[in-house]
Amino acid sequence: MWGSRKTKQESVTCIACGCSLPRSEAREYDKYGDRWERAGKEFEHLCKACDHDLCHQPRDELEGLLVEIDAGSHSQAEFLSWYSALVEERYGTIEE
Ligand SMILES: [Zn+2]
C-alpha cells in the first residue's frame, strides 16, 4: 500500500478473528459501550469484516451456532438438547 512511505503504522489485532491490521483500518470496540471515556482505557479492535458480522441479526447468528455445533454429526435428540442449551446460554431462556 504505502510501502515507500516511512509512516509508522501502528497495527492492532482483531479480537474476533485474530488478524492484524493497521489501526486506522480497525474499528474500535469498547466492551463497556462507552467510547468517550478514553482515559486509562485500552480499546479492543475489530477488523471491518468482523465489525460487520457483529451487526448481523440474531437469525444469522443462529446459523453460525448450527455450524459451531456441527449439526450433521449428532443424533437428533443429542443435537436438540445441545442446541437449546447453547441458545439458552446466549440468549436466555426462551419463553413459550
Ligand atoms: Zn476480524
What are the beta bridge partners of residue 14?
45
The pLDDT value recorded for residue 55 is 60
Distance 34 CA to ligand 1 centre (A): 21
The pLDDT value recorded for residue 50 is 85
Distance 83 CA to ligand 1 centre (A): 25
- Taking phi first (over 0 means left), then psi (-120 to 50 degrees means alpha), and beta for anything else, what does residue 89 get? alpha
The pLDDT value recorded for residue 13 is 92
Distance 45 CA to ligand 1 centre (A): 8
The pLDDT value recorded for residue 18 is 92
For the chain, the structural domain boundaries read 11-54, 58-91
Q: What is the pLDDT of residues 5-64, one digit of tens each?
A: 556 678 999 988 999 999 989 988 766 666 566 677 777 888 988 887 766 555 566 667
C-alpha cell at 47: 477488523
The pLDDT value recorded for residue 20 is 93
CB 11 within 8 A of CB 26: no
